[in-house]
Structures are given as structure tokens and as C-alpha cells.
Structure 1
């Protein structure tokens, strides 16, 4: 796998999809730096990776909804991990409907965690990524960020945040065209939060069972493992039943 031996930072790596992706990537030989709000959750992911692979991953607490925290993490990564081959933006706050029940603080945190923190982190890392022969900036968005998808259980704030992420991906794709930095995104529908350490991770499921976390991880790794001359700018994935349309992304 092309990711083997390469170094990536993953946000929202304390639980859910971020933790699962980190575990699977470490299993495949990737070198990792993990960010999340919760130091305890981060340590849990780090301990799992060490037990499975012997790799001691670097970690740093980072609240993507906080500008200063995101800037501090970006500066630390640029200074201490200048050899990063890619960043995977996974962290985001899940905020359910109805919009009228959301507090002002929740709306601000939801949008900031998905969009502003990712932009600030990327700005700090971009000079180092551009200096690499090949690098990746990958974002886990959601089908909530796809034009004309129905709301279906998510809040207006969450949908707005995911549209902001989609705009970030598109804008950065245009700006970095012709460079060695590949900008990609996956737009998953609703999926379960199974972990690679769970017995059911590898079990076959019926076609109508819904999208799984493992399938989302597989989709992300499919994109990252493509040759650097090949890109999948955006990949929308759903269960075949078509009844899941939003990723309840992790923010731990």
C-alpha cells in the first residue's frame, strides 16, 4: 500500500471513524500523528495502535472549534513533523436537528470545528506539504455537503458546516492544481461506528444492512493509495439501500 511508511496527521482520532482509520492505517505501516480534543481518547487510540503494531504514535490535543488551539497545533506540526506526507481532516462536531433547538454556542462550535479549524491547520502545514514531492490533503465531508441532498435528521448548522468543508476542498483543489499536493474528499452517508478491534469488523453483512465504518475506511484508503498521478477529487458513498445520508463524524 502506498501509505505504508508515509506520515499522516489525522484529526478527530480519539474515537469513531478517526480512531478506526488510524488503527487500520497503522496496521498497514503508515506513520501517524493524531489530534483530538480529548487527551484520554487520544491515548486510547495510541494504546490500541501500540498493542497491535508496536508503533508509538505522536499525539496532541486540539480543539478545532478554537482558533488558537488549531493554530497552535498547526505550528507544532509544521515545526516538529515537517516530514508529513499528508493531513486527513476527519474531526467535526455532530449536531442533530432541529435547528431551532440548537444554542448559539453549539452552532458556532459545529461550523468552526468542521471548517475554520481545518483551514487554519492546513494553512500552517501547506508550506511543508508543498515541499514534499507528493502529499495529500484529504477531507471526510458527508453527503450533507452534497448539493440537493435532503436534510433528513441533521441540523441546518451541520449541513452549513459540511457545505463549507466542500467549498474548502473545491477551492484548495483549484489553488493547488499543478503542484505535488493532491486534494481529495470522501462524502459518506450514515454509517456505523464499528472499531477494527471489534469482532464484527471483518464480518460480511447483508446488502441492506447499511454503510459500515470499515467501508468508509476502505474508501479513504482507496483514494490515498492511488498513484500520485491519479486523483479522485470527490467520492460519494452510500449504502445500497440509499437510506443513509449523513456521517456523524467524531470530534473526540
Structure 2
């Protein structure tokens, strides 16, 4: 699949699945705009991609828990490009704990701000650039901790709250933006294996059989498939079933 005509923004691209997303879309030929909480983290991924011969890659700082940082990023992005085609809302803080009292108030605020408020603010501030695209897509990595009734072995209640906020936001946004031709695509994966380095030979050797845990590669394939469909095909959500007891649900996605 060729994405040379797409401009893709990825939040939380400094590490883990966000970094894998960045390498994946760059490998498909897209122009990629990467954010991380610090510019240094985004620059590390940018340098990796540039080192592979892909020169259409840009790095920005964006702290989703800070509205001023989100606005500054949106302004800098708008000065770099007149439109974007895909926004991937990947960044969100993972928080675990045995009970509600096991984390600090600051942990709760940061988790809700990055996963809930941050997703709303990034989407809001980048919407004008998306509406300038002939094929705009918004992809949000939610996790199945945002699905009612799902239980995770170690996820903290604040993480559940952030993921349910993302689910409610994307469902409402999908209805609101559909008449304007914007596809809003949400993914609800269980825990998945993102331990393999996308630059290592192990990346393509990941086991993907029926009895294996869900891999980052399979999640990437779902994102690519949804974006690559003709505009008459609107896949609003991917819901995954855990095939392995090692994957109880609700992955720390970034």
C-alpha cells in the first residue's frame, strides 16, 4: 500500500507503539509529523526515520496534559503544512495500581488529562487542517479498557476513566463529522505485544498464530486497512477478542 500522498500526524511517537506507527507510515511513503512530550523524544524517532532515507519527517513537542503546549504544536504544524490527512491519537498515559488509593492525585490528573482532555484538544486544534484534506481520517487508539464491562488485571480506575472518555468522544465525533467526510476510526485492542523493535529482524518474525498474543504488527495492519479503504467504506471501530490468557485486556498503548 502506498501512502506517498498522505500527511500523517502521530502523537506519542517517541517510544513503544507510537514509534512503531511512525516507522510504519514512513515506510509506506507518508509524510509524517511526530509528537512526544519532549522534543528530544520526538527527535530521536525522527532521526531514526531520516537515517533510513526518508526525508519527509518532522518532530514537535506536545504535552497533551498542557493546553498551551497543544495550541503551540497546532500553530507550529499549521506553519509547516496547509493540511493533514490522518491524525493518529496514540498518546495516553498508562496507569496501574491495586486500588484507587494506590496512586497520587497528580497521577490521576495527568492520566485523565493526557488520555481524555489531551485527545479532545489535539483533535479540536488540528481539525481545521484535517478539513482541508480531500480524505481526512482520525484514528484513536483507545484499548478495550474503554469498552463497558471489560476488566483488566492491573489497570487503575483513572486509566479506565480516560479510556471511557476517549470512547465517548470518538463516538460523538464520528456522528458530528460524518457529513463533512471525516472518518473517525477507533481501535479497542486488549494488551498486545509491542516489545519488538521495528528496526530489528525480530519485528517480522513475531509469531501471529491463533494461539499467540495480539501483536503490534496486527494492530498496525488494522489501522492501515481502515485508512486505505475507498471513502465509501467507513470502518468506525475495531473490537478485538483476546485469544491468549496472557492478554486480559486494556493495553498500555504508549
TM tier, shorter chain? Answer: over 0.9
Give unmatched runs, 5+ long, in structure 2.
none
| 1:208 aligned residue | 211
Distance in 2 separating the partners of 1:170 and 1:146:
12
Which range is displaced more, 202-211 or 142-151?
A: 202-211
Matches within 5 A, 1:1-252: 1=1, 3-98=3-98, 99-193=100-194, 194-205=196-207, 206-241=209-244, 243-244=246-247, 245-250=249-254
SS in 2 for 1:88: strand
Distance in 2 separating the partners of 1:204 and 1:125:
35
How far the C-alpha of 1:124 sits from its partner, in A, is 1.6
Higher relative contact order (CA 8 A, sep 6+): 1
How far the C-alpha of 1:180 sits from its partner, in A, is 1.8
Native 8 Å contact 2:31 2:56 kept in 1? no
CA spacing shift, 1:149–1:198, aligned 2, 3 Å: same
Deviations 1:111-140 (A, max 9, x none): 110111121121122122223222011101
Distance in 2 separating the partners of 1:30 and 1:20:
14
Task: Report the RMSD for the aligned CA atoms in angstroms.
Answer: 1.6
Distance in 2 separating the partners of 1:28 and 1:53:
13
Deviations 1:185-221 (A, max 9, x none): 1111101222211221111514333111111111111
Distance in 2 separating the partners of 1:5 and 1:239:
35
How far the C-alpha of 1:41 sits from its partner, in A, is 2.1
Distance in 1 separating the partners of 2:4 and 2:189:
24
TM-score (norm: length of structure 2): 0.93
Native 8 Å contact 2:78 2:129 kept in 1? yes
Native 8 Å contact 2:84 2:132 kept in 1? no
SS in 2 for 1:176: helix
Native 8 Å contact 1:10 1:22 kept in 2? yes
TM-score (norm: length of structure 1): 0.93
Deviations 1:137-166 (A, max 9, x none): 110100100111113210000010000000
CA spacing shift, 1:236–1:53, aligned 2, 3 Å: farther
